[in-house]
Amino acid sequence: MEEESIYNLIPKEYVPPPKPKMYKSKYPPSAPPTYSTFGLATTSKVCSNMAGDYTNFDGAHAYKAQSAHFGKPIGAVKPTPTSFIKKGAGTMILSDPKKFNYKTTEIKPPVPKKDEAPIHGLKTDKNFIVSNAVEIILKPAKRIPEENDPLKKKNYGKVPEYLEKIKNNIEEEYTTLRQLKEEQQAEEEKMKYLMSTEEIVELKEGLKKKWEAVNKEYQMITHIRKPDTQGLKRRKENCERELAQIEKDMALLDKPFVFVDTTA
């Protein structure tokens, strides 16, 4: 805290703070929003700037059409003096005619001449009926293919190999399940133990004391002529329920052997 002084009345000279550098984002200013569909009318892309891809990759069509906004610049369509139509530029010049040759070398036989007529009127003494009958008689009989008898197959009556494999797999699964069940039963047997006489006597003493305390409370409630409140009725029912459960537990402890199951 500054102390009071007459020098504080003199105005101090203002020193402007140093101007920081102008902030410039690392992202391009022309980057469209993520999954934007604007400005893609002349392209083959569905959306742009996917997954932060700020670089514009042109597809099959250009991103911007050439001279689409204001046309070509002034002087771009000015004719050049060296590009003009010359003589014969629009006339097609045919090539020199050449001899036509067939691509195939095979030639059909020529047409017979008039003096090369075939001989007509020839006759034969062959008896075709007898000849056909002799050929049919001498021809060997047609063999009918024998059908394969399934009873004569080598593997007939035998168990297929794939069934043996399936049977072995099932047997292995049963063996594994049986072993797991036996191990589980062994673990459960380890968690059961026989109570000693000292423990049984101690439990009986505790149950007896608890029975006496509950019975005392029950006797006090029963001496009331008419329990006309819900609290007294509920206390009486709870006492009766506890006395019955204690008597049941004491009956179980009266057996010759008492086992304790820790898994329950």
How confident is the model at residue 153, as a pLDDT?
83
* pLDDT (0 to 100) of residue 28: 80
pLDDT attached to residue 204: 86
For the chain, the domains span: 31-63, 159-190, 193-261
pLDDT, residue 217, reads 86
In this predicted structure, what is the pLDDT of residue 192? 74
Is residue 34 helix, strand or coil?
Answer: coil
Quick: pLDDT tens for 19-57.
999 998 888 887 778 888 887 777 777 788 777 776 665
Which residue(s) pair with 36 in the sheet? 48
Give backbone dihedrals phi and psi of 193, rounded to 5 degrees, phi first: -145, 160
Q: DSSP of 179-203, one letter per residue?
A: HHHHHHHHHHHHTEEEPPHHHHHHH
Flag residues of the chain having pLDDT under 70. 1-2, 54-66, 68, 225-227, 263-264
Give the pLDDT score at 57.
58
Residue 168 confidence (pLDDT): 93
pLDDT at 199: 84
pLDDT, residue 189, reads: 74
